[in-house]
Amino acid sequence: MTNIEKLIIKYLNNSISKNEWDELNSWFAKSEDKQLFNEYIKINYAIEDIMGEFNTERTKNSLLEKIKKDKRSLITLRITRYLRYAAVVAILFGSAYFFQQGFYSDKTENIAFPSEDVITLELENGNLEVISEGGTADIINTQGKVIGKQKGNRITYTKAPVESEELVYNQLTVPFGKRFELELSDGSIVHLNAGTSLKYPVSFLKEGKREVFLVGEAFLHVAKDSKRPFTVSTSDNLEIQVLGTRFNVSNYPEDVTTEVVLVEGSVGLQLDKKSEGVILEPGFKGSFDRQQRNISTKPVITDVYTSWMKGELIFRGVSLENILKKLERHYNVTIINQNLKYSQKKFNANFGDEPIEVVLNYFKSTYGINYTIEDNKVILK
């Protein structure tokens, strides 16, 4: 049995480790034969096990022969299509086989999860779907109904008459170094920045507020609906209440504040029902200090806070410590700052959609901050 076959079996029974998953995920992306092999394996394993004649080598060889004949009609399989059959295949394959091979594990941390470098969509049943930014796919619910479509770096949910009687959620997670767009079922558009997760209903209720849950940074263009106000809830219990507007929310766990910048319309910021809320006007930023538990406002240039949607980085009065956090998210790198002299110094700088070396060379030539790059790690000296 090859190493890949062992990884597939460990994947099916949820005993795969993160490193093993990364290896299997890489293999899925590179091997055309094996992508098609997944489609055949769900049928052949089931048939042979039911007939009591399962033979690993015979099945593998016959399937690979079929693959060779069908190469011209190869289709790209998505990992979650394979997931739909995982439970059935695991049962039909037989528990005794897995015990015999020694693949069962009682370690709860050895569960299957995607690489940290991919965009994932968590469906209502908990299954994770890996989003291929260059591909297209249907978004399907547990009843087999198409509820949306993915095309490139955007998912659009079906705009249908409001019929939901109960909320069913999906959750989209964007890793460091990537951005993504989402159109909700009510027509609201959300741009997700690197290192961001948004939980949202696939369809909103007939009545009541439209609520989504955000960790990270997003720019929202909310569809107007006076009967159903829109609310963004953050991980620090801040509620952003809107009717129809365009605004940016930055709510990264590692930051000291949650910031809301209003471009158009009107939003209210409120901690709880007992506290008095704050109303923002266009061109203003509301900052919620998580330690002091208070909200302050001030006028700002909104383009500074929305430039990330074009891949740009603009800093105005930002400390080097906070700049490095943004660079880590934007470029998906680890930065170790050994130059503590400049940690709290505030900088003004503009960068386009450029390699990280351009940004680092700016700080080196202007402020004498040297650096080295080792693999995916940057060290400031």
The DSSP result for 222-256, as a single string, is PPP-TTS-EEEEETTS-EEEESS-EEEEEE-TTSS
163/248 same-domain check: yes
pLDDT at position 45 is: 45
Question: Radius of gyration over alpha carbons of the chain, in Å?
Answer: 24
Phi, psi for residue 8 in degrees, rounded to 5: -60, -45
Spatial separation of the C-alpha atoms in residues 50 and 245, rounded to whole Å: 57
Mean pLDDT of 2-21: 62
Query: 278-302, pLDDT tens digit by residue?
Result: 999 999 999 999 998 899 999 999 9
Residue 130 domain flag = no
35/66 same-domain check: yes
Which CATH number covers residue 168? 2.60.120.1440
Q: Out of 304, 338, 367, pick the residue that ends a domain.
A: 304
Residue 122 domain flag = no
pLDDT at position 179 is: 96
39/155 same-domain check: no
Q: Out of 288, 304, 320, pick the residue that ends a domain.
A: 304
pLDDT at position 6 is: 66
Residue 84 confidence class, pLDDT cut points 50, 70, 90: very low
Residue 115 confidence class, pLDDT cut points 50, 70, 90: low
150/190 same-domain check: yes
Report which DSSP code applies to 4.
Answer: H
Mean pLDDT of 340-359: 91
289/317 same-domain check: no
Residue 129 domain flag = no
Closest CA to 295 of 220, 240, 230, 214: 240
Phi, psi for residue 336 in degrees, rounded to 5: -110, 120
139/56 same-domain check: no
Domains identified in the chain, total number: 3
* Residues 16 and 24 sit within 8 Å (Cβ to Cβ): yes
Which CATH number covers residue 342? 3.55.50.30
176/260 same-domain check: yes
pLDDT at position 160 is: 65
256/186 same-domain check: yes
pLDDT at position 171 is: 96
Structural domain range at position 258: 135-304
pLDDT at position 49 is: 42
208/249 same-domain check: yes
pLDDT at position 107 is: 34
235/335 same-domain check: no
Lowest mean pLDDT among 5-19, 38-52, 66-80, 244-258: 66-80
Q: Could you give the maximum distance between any two Cα atoms of the chain, in Å? A: 74
Residue 121 domain flag = no
Residue 114 domain flag = no
Query: 239-278, pLDDT tens digit by residue?
Result: 999 978 999 999 999 999 999 999 999 999 998 777 778 9
Q: pLDDT at residue 170 above 70?
A: yes
* Residues 179 and 193 sit within 8 Å (Cβ to Cβ): yes
145/182 same-domain check: yes
Query: 105-114, pLDDT tens digit by residue?
Result: 333 233 334 5
298/324 same-domain check: no
Residue 120 domain flag = no
pLDDT at position 19 is: 63
Spatial separation of the C-alpha atoms in residues 182 and 205, rounded to whole Å: 19
pLDDT at position 16 is: 59
Q: How is residue 175 written in tokens?
A: 């890793």
Which amino acid is present at 270?
Answer: Q
Mean pLDDT of 36-65: 46
Residue 288 domain flag = yes
Query: 171-230, pLDDT tens digit by residue?
Result: 999 999 999 999 999 999 999 999 999 999 999 988 889 999 999 999 999 999 988 999
Q: pLDDT at residue 100 above 50?
A: no
Residue 311 confidence class, pLDDT cut points 50, 70, 90: very high
Strand order in the sheet with 377-380: 334-337, 377-380, 371-374
Q: Out of 304, 325, 351, pick the residue that ends a domain.
A: 304
Residue 279 domain flag = yes
